């Protein structure tokens, strides 16, 4: 699930960027997990079963003219921010952990805010 992933996908930053921060848009997510392609696919399929994109009429939000009611729910499940300790000048991850950006709508430019807090 790397690269250009479709609606409901959980892509990894193709540059392998790791950071600490929050996602500032209501249809995307940041989260920590294992970088394993099968797991990425499992997330995409699970989220689509949990909040399928169609039929569009199932979401009251779509009555506003938008068609991304599912993306809001997927983001809610996956979360909006991560916090990672820094030890010895490095992000303190487990052996398989990475930070991922999940895009569930894809129609607007988005940004991720990274904050470093501490001494």
What ranges do the domains of the chain cover? 21-114
Encode the chain (119 residues) as per-residue pLDDT tens digits.
Answer: 233 333 344 444 433 433 444 556 789 999 999 999 999 999 999 999 999 999 999 999 999 999 999 999 999 999 989 998 888 888 889 889 999 999 999 877 888 888 877 66
What's the CATH number for 21-114?
Answer: 2.60.120.460
The whole-model pTM stands at: 0.75
Report the interhelical angle of 69-78 vs 37-50 (nearest 10°). Answer: 130
C-alpha separations of 87 from 78, 81, 118 in Å: 26, 20, 11
**Residues 119, 87 contacting (CB under 8 angstroms):** no
């Amino acid at each position: 699930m790397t690269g250009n992933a479709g609606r409901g996908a959980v892509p990894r930053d193709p540059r392998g960027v790791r950071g600490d921060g929050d996602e500032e848009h209501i249809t995307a997510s940041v989260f920590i997990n294992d970088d394993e392609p099968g797991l990425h696919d499992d997330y995409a399929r699970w989220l689509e079963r949990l909040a399928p994109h169609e039929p569009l009429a199932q979401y009251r939000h779509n009555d506003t003219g938008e068609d991304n009611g599912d993306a809001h729910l997927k983001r809610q499940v996956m979360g909006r921010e991560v916090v990672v300790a820094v030890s010895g000048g490095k992000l303190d991850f487990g052996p398989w952990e990475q930070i991922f950006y999940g895009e569930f709508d894809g129609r607007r430019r988005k940004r991720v805010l990274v904050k470093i807090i501490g001494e």
